[in-house]
Amino acid sequence: MTDLYRLLPEEMEQLVVDMGYPRYRADQILLPLYYKFPKVINDIPQLPKKLREDLTEAGYTIGSAKETHRVVSDDGDTTKLLLNLTDGTPVETVLIQYPSSKINGHPRSTICVSTQIGCAMGCVFCATGQMGFEKNIRAEEIVAQVIHFADILQQRGEHVTNLVFMGMGEPMANYDEMIRAVRILTHDRGFGIGQRNITISTIGLISGIDKLAEEDLQVGLAISLHAPNNELRKKLVPTAGPNSVEDIIEAGRRYFKKTGRRVTFEYALMKGINDSPKIATELAILLKGNGSHVNLIPINPTAGDFNRPTQDSIREFERILFNAGVNCTVRIEKGIEISAACGQLRIDIVG
C-alpha cells in the first residue's frame, strides 16, 4: 500500500502518466488532497471512476491520522492531539495560536509536528527523551499531522501559517523522511506553505545540519545548546560528543554562510543548573559576534526533576546576553498546563 500523501507532485504526475492518463489528472488529485482533505480515493469525485478504481487496485490509499484524544489550554490558544497513525502508532501533535498576531485577519497558527515516536537523544530535562526511542515516522505520517490540523482550522475559517519540527523526536535522526515531508509541505502544488515559515530544530546532529545547508531550502534552523561548555552540556545531553559545543557553533556558522539564514540557539533555563550570571557571561562570550539569536526557554514542568528559574534570574540572564550584544528573547510558552509546551510531549501524558 502506498499513501498518496507520500508522493511529491512530480511523482504524482509520473504516476498518472504511467497509468495511461493525462498529466493534468495529477492536479485533480493534488488539489483535493491539500485543500479538501479527502479520507478515501472515492472522495475525489472529479477523478474519472476508472482512475479511482485503478489507483485503488494498484494499492494506493489516502492516509490519515485518527484523533483519539484532544486537550485544549485554558486560554484556548493551544490544542494538543493524540493521533493514531495509519499503522495504529500513537503520536502527539500540537497547535499553538497567537490571536494577537493576526495575519490577513487570521491568527498565527503554528503546528508543532513530531518526526519520531520517542527520542534516542536522552536529554535529561525532556519528557520525550526520557521515554526512549521507538520508531521513525514516515514522511506521509508527518504530513498527516499537518493535514489533520489544517482540516480543523479550515472549519474555523483559519489556516496553518507556520510549522515547527519541534515535536517528539530528533528531526535530523530521521533526515530523509523529514526532508521529504518538508518538500511536500512547501511545494506550490502540494500543501504550499512558505519555506521561511518552517523551523527545524535539532539537538545538534552535525551531519544533519550540514546536509540541510545543502538542500537549497530557506527554512529556519534552531539548535538546542542548553550550556556554554562541554562538561555541563554532557550532563544535560548524555549523547553529546566531547566537543559538542564547539562543533555546534561551527556548524551554525557554516549553515549561516551557506544559506544566509540566521541560526537560533535554544537554551532551556534550569534553576541552579545553567542559569547563573557566570554561565550567562560564558554563553555571551561564546556567541558574541556570530550573528545568531538565542531563544531562552524557562524549563517546563514534568520535564525531569528540574525547576524553572525565578523571573529575576531570567531577566538577569537575558540582560547579560543583551549587554554583550547577543540577540536574545525569552520564549512565551503556551500550553504548559496541558503538557503541550517544549520538552513536555510524551504519548502517555495527554493532559
Tell me the per-residue pLDDT of 99-117, one tens digit each, with 9 for 90 and over. Answer: 866 666 789 999 999 999 9
Interval 28-34 mean pLDDT: 97
Q: Mean pLDDT across the stretch 274-280?
A: 97
Annotated active-site residue in 13, 140, 318, 342 = 342
In the structure, what pLDDT confidence band is assigned to residue 86 with cuts at 50, 70 and 90? confident
Residue 346 lies in a domain: no
Cell of 96: 499553538
Average pLDDT score over residue span 209-220: 97
**Rounded average pLDDT over 245-270:** 95
- Out of 13, 92, 141, 318, which one is annotated catalytic? 92
Say whether pLDDT at 130 is over 90: no
Residue at 348 is within a domain: no
Cite the beta strand spans of the chain per DSSP E: 2-3, 60-61, 66-72, 78-84, 90-103, 106-112, 116-118, 133-136, 162-165, 198-202, 220-224, 263-269, 293-298, 327-330
Split at pLDDT 50, 70, 90, the class of 157 is very high
Cα Rg, the chain, nearest whole Å: 21
CB 29 within 8 Å of CB 11: no
For position 337, what pLDDT does the model report? 46
Report if residue 189 sits inside a domain. Answer: yes
Q: What is the pLDDT of residue 234?
A: 97
Which pLDDT score is estimated for 334?
Answer: 61
The answer as to whether 349 is a domain residue is: no
pLDDT at 99: 81
Q: Structural domain of residue 11, as residue ranges?
A: 2-61
Q: Which helix (H) or strand (E) holds 320?
A: helix 311-323
Active-site residue flag, 112: no
Is residue 57 assigned to a domain?
yes
Residues sharing a CB contact under 8 Å with residue 99, sequence separation 6 or more, in sequence order: 77, 107
225 and 159 within one domain: yes
Does one domain contain both 41 and 176? Answer: no
The answer to whether the annotation marks 225 as part of a ligand binding site is yes
Catalytic annotation present for 342: yes
The x, y and z cell numbers of residue 80, run together, are 494538543
Mean pLDDT of 175-186: 98
My answer on whether 43 and 157 are in the same domain is: no
Whether 308 and 278 share a structural domain: yes
Q: Please indicate, yes or no, whether residues 157 and 51 belong to a single structural domain of this protein.
A: no
**Mean pLDDT lowest among 167-176, 262-271, 305-314:** 305-314
Does the pLDDT value for residue 301 go beyond 60?
yes
| 94 & 28 share domain | no
> Is 123 labelled as part of a ligand binding site?
yes
273, with CB counted inside 10 A (0-12, 13-18, 19+), is buried
Number of domains observed in the structure of the chain: 2
Q: What is the pLDDT of residue 338?
A: 46
Last residue of a domain, one of 23, 39, 61: 61
**What was the pLDDT predicted at 139?**
97
Residue 49 sits in a domain of what CATH number? 1.10.150.530
What per-residue confidence (pLDDT) applies to 351?
42
Task: Give mean pLDDT, residues 38-60.
Answer: 96
More confident of the two residues 73 and 144: 144
Over range 226-236, report the average pLDDT.
Answer: 97
The verdict on 226 and 255 lying in the same domain is yes
What mean pLDDT is reported for the chain? 91
- pLDDT for 1 equals 87
Query: Does residue 302 carry a pLDDT above 80?
Result: no
Q: Are residues 220 and 256 in the same domain?
A: yes
Residue 286 and residue 172: Cα distance in Å, rounded?
A: 24
Same domain, 91 and 49: no
pLDDT at 349 > cutoff 80? no
CA quadruple 252, 253, 256, 257: dihedral, nearest 10: -150
pLDDT at 137: 96
Residue ending a domain, among 61, 76, 102, is 61
224 is in an annotated binding site: yes
Could you tell me what percent of the chain has a pLDDT over 70?
Answer: 92
Q: Has 169 been labeled as part of a binding site?
A: yes
Q: Give me the percent of the chain exceeding a pLDDT of 90.
A: 79
